[in-house]
Amino acid sequence: MNRREVPTQSLRRAVALKYDSKENEAPVIAAKGSGKLAERILEKAKEHGIPIQEDAALVEVLSKLDLDQQIPAELYGLVAEILSFIYRSDREMGLKK
């Protein structure tokens, strides 16, 4: 009888948001995944200098949304905190004034 080991650690998860005020009223889900796909999403973000905010609870909620779906109004406050983090990061790196 073969036995498979069950991973004791949960898979890493990632959700990427994109926002273009000319196209959407709110950020939309650009990518999401777990395990190797999550790692790839994070690698791409790092390659392109996109700030990464780790928030397991928010990833849990956002991962339930469909790709290209705008975030619902109920999540605006949480996502606003992330956007604020990104804008501060950009300013600190001299990307925006």
pLDDT one-digit tens code per residue, 5-43: 445 456 899 999 998 989 998 899 999 999 999 999 999
SS3 18: strand
The ranges assigned to domains in the chain are: 13-92
As a whole number of angstroms, the distance between CA 61 and CA 41 comes to: 17
As a whole number of angstroms, the distance between CA 17 and CA 32 comes to: 9
**CB atoms near residue 38 (< 10 Å):** 20
Q: Residue 96 in contact with residue 87, Cβ under 8 Å?
A: yes
User: Topology of 13-92 in CATH?
Assistant: name from scop (3.40.1690)
Tell me what pLDDT residue 11 has: 82
As a whole number of angstroms, the distance between CA 52 and CA 9 comes to: 21
For range 64-84, the mean pLDDT:
88
